[in-house]
Amino acid sequence: MDCDVLIVGGGPAGLSLARSLADAPLRVIVVEKQPHAALEAPGYDGREIALTHRSIGTLKALGAWDLLPPEDVSPLDEARVLNGASPFALSFDPASHGGGPLSLIVPNHRIREALFRTVEHQPNLTLLAGVGVAALKTSARAAEVTLDDGRTLSAKLLVAADSRFSGVRDRLGIGAEVNRLGRSMMVCRVRHDGEHHGVATEWFDHYQTLAMLPLNGRRSSAVLTLPAAEMDGIAALDEAALGAELTRRYQGKLGRMEVDASAHVYPLATTWSRHFAATRAALIGDAAVGMHPVTAHGFNLGLQSQATLAKLVIAAAQRGRDIAAPSLLRRYEMTHRLASRPIYAATNWLVRLYTDERPGARIARHATLRAGSRLPLARQAITAMLMQR
Ligand SMILES: Cc1cc2nc3c(=O)[nH]c(=O)nc-3n(C[C@H](O)[C@H](O)[C@H](O)COP(=O)(O)OP(=O)(O)OC[C@H]3O[C@@H](n4cnc5c(N)ncnc54)[C@H](O)[C@@H]3O)c2cc1C
How many C-beta neighbours within 10 Å does residue 260 have? Answer: 19
How far is Cα 144 from Cα 131, in angstroms, rounded to an integer?
Answer: 16
CB-count exposure of residue 93 (10 Å: 0-12, 13-18, 19+): middle
Report CA 131 to chain centroid distance, whole Å: 24
Spatial CB neighbours of 49, under 8 Å, sequence gap ≥ 6? 105, 106, 107, 108, 111, 296, 299
Report whether pLDDT(334) > 90: yes
How far is Cα 10 from Cα 15, in angstroms, rounded to an integer?
Answer: 5
How many C-beta neighbours within 10 Å does residue 205 have? Answer: 15
Instruction: Compute the half-sphere exposure of residue 30: CA atoms within 13 Å on the CB side of its CA.
Output: 29
Report whether pLDDT(380) > 70: no
- Mean local confidence (pLDDT), 106-132: 98
What DSSP line would sit under 98-124, residue for residue?
A: TSS-SEEEEEHHHHHHHHHHHHTT-TT
- Bridge partners of 128, per DSSP, are 31
For ligand 1, atom 37, the nearest C-alpha belongs to: 162
Report whether pLDDT(375) > 70: no
Question: What domains lie within the chain, and their CATH numbers?
Answer: 3-72+106-178+270-357 (3.50.50.60)
Quick: pLDDT tens for 37-48: 999 999 999 999
Nearest Cα to Cα of residue 280 among 210, 221, 330: 330
CA of 326 to the centre of ligand 1 (A): 27
DSSP letter for 170, please. Answer: H
Report whether pLDDT(269) > 70: yes
- Mean local confidence (pLDDT), 257-286: 97
- Mean local confidence (pLDDT), 76-104: 80
Report whether pLDDT(379) > 90: no
CA of 195 to the centre of ligand 1 (A): 31
pTM here is: 0.94
CA of 265 to the centre of ligand 1 (A): 14
Q: Which of 16, 20, 29, 33 to mutate to test the pocket of ligand 1 (most atoms within 8 A of CB)?
A: 33
What pLDDT does residue 355 have?
A: 76
Arithmetic mean of pLDDT over the chain: 92
Quick: pLDDT tens for 295-313: 889 999 999 999 999 999 9
Strands 176-192 and 219-227 come out as: antiparallel
Quick: pLDDT tens for 166-215: 999 999 999 999 999 999 999 999 999 999 999 999 888 888 899 999 99
CA of 296 to the centre of ligand 1 (A): 12
What pLDDT does residue 190 have?
A: 98
Higher pLDDT, 363 or 127: 127
